[in-house]
Amino acid sequence: MLKCSGAEYKAFYSSDWDGLLNSTGCYCDTEELTCDGEEYEGEVEDLPDGAKVTIHNGVVCDEDCKDVISFEAFFKRWKKSCNTLIMVIEIPKEYEDYMKSQIAICKGKIK
């Protein structure tokens, strides 16, 4: 079982790792996920960024199903390869300008 935010899950599916799956003929199978504790079968891009996503099961297979790796392991490899961190934060509104300035100092971006 793997837990991440909706923003991280969407970033994975829009990254080069998803392209690598497609270009090598590999695919994800039997992936089941919940969004904020409820079963989710919608589109990846419709997940709220701040959602608590839990991935249950799932494997990544090659075309012949000879090489199989858990989706969790594949996702963790992707996350480790990233040079950025995705955060969804909640702060009191009066700290908004301060937080934005601190993120800018760190060369971060707010989506």
Q: Is residue 100 part of a domain?
A: no
Which residues constitute the domain of residue 7?
A: 2-82
Backbone angles phi, psi at 7, to 5 degrees: -60, -45
59-103 pLDDT, tens digit per residue, is 888 777 776 788 888 888 888 888 888 888 899 999 999 999 999
Q: Is residue 107 part of a domain?
A: no
Measured CA to CA in angstroms, residue 68 lies from 12, 26, 72, 81, 102 at distances of 19, 9, 12, 20, 42
Q: Is residue 95 part of a domain?
A: no
Tokens 């996920």 identify what position? 33
Q: Note the pLDDT of residue 64.
A: 72
Query: What span, in angstroms and rounded, lies between the C-alpha atoms of 102 and 63?
Result: 46
Q: Note the pLDDT of residue 78.
A: 86
Tokens 């409820």 identify what position? 38
Q: Is residue 39 part of a domain?
A: yes
4-63 pLDDT, tens digit per residue, is 999 999 998 888 776 666 666 777 776 788 999 999 989 989 999 999 999 988 888 877
Query: What span, in angstroms and rounded, lies between the C-alpha atoms of 55 and 32?
Result: 6
